[in-house]
Amino acid sequence: MIRRLAFLVAGIAFGAGLTLSRMIDPAKVTGFLDIGGSWDPSLAATMAGALAATFLLYRFAGRLGRPLLGGDVPEPPPKAIDRRLVAGAAVFGLGWGLAGICPGPAIAVVVLNPVVLWFLGGFAVGTVLVSLSGRVMR
């Protein structure tokens, strides 16, 4: 029960952070991505804060040796840059640039704008297609 509550609190904090930084606003995101036009660098501070928090929490977790709320320590991801990684990053970046929203904020913004369900549907279809094609790309 404590694990589920911790996941709920973490999800609420994540959604609140996305909302406060306006990362759920496609115009804000496309303004950040438009480095050749009227670039809005304010989301860089949000990303820097997220990276700093992640860095510190990973260092803290590494010193514990085991998860606070039980379970197994996940294996580190592979460090190789392969076709699947590049293809996934390209699709993610194109989707983010075209829609002005990435999957995390899309889930948070559904509450505010149900039209985002179209984006999530496309995200789900893309995930299935990449999953199916991933077997071929290995």
Q: Where are the domains of the chain?
A: 2-137
The pLDDT assigned to 56 comes to 92
Alpha helix (H) ranges present in 34-115? 42-64, 83-99, 103-109
Q: How far is CA 82 from CA 90, 94, 95, 109, 135, in A?
A: 12, 18, 20, 32, 13
The pLDDT assigned to 48 comes to 92
Instruction: State both tokens at 96.
Output: 């983010």
Tell which wins on pLDDT, 111 or 22: 22
pLDDT at 115 over 90: no
Q: How far is CA 64 from CA 61, 69, 120, in A?
A: 5, 11, 37
Contact (Cβ atoms closer than 8 angstroms) between residue 38 and residue 31: yes
CA 105-30-28 angle, 5° bins:
65
Kindly provide the b/e burial profile for residues 49-63, where b requires at least 16 CB atoms within 10 angstroms of the residue's own CB.
Answer: eeeeeeeeeeeeeee
Average pLDDT over residues 10-35: 81
The pLDDT assigned to 113 comes to 67
Contact (Cβ atoms closer than 8 angstroms) between residue 28 and residue 40: yes
pTM, full prediction: 0.58
Instruction: Quick: pLDDT tens for 50-103.
Output: 899 989 988 888 788 777 887 777 777 788 898 888 888 888 888 777 777 777
Average pLDDT over residues 8-21: 80
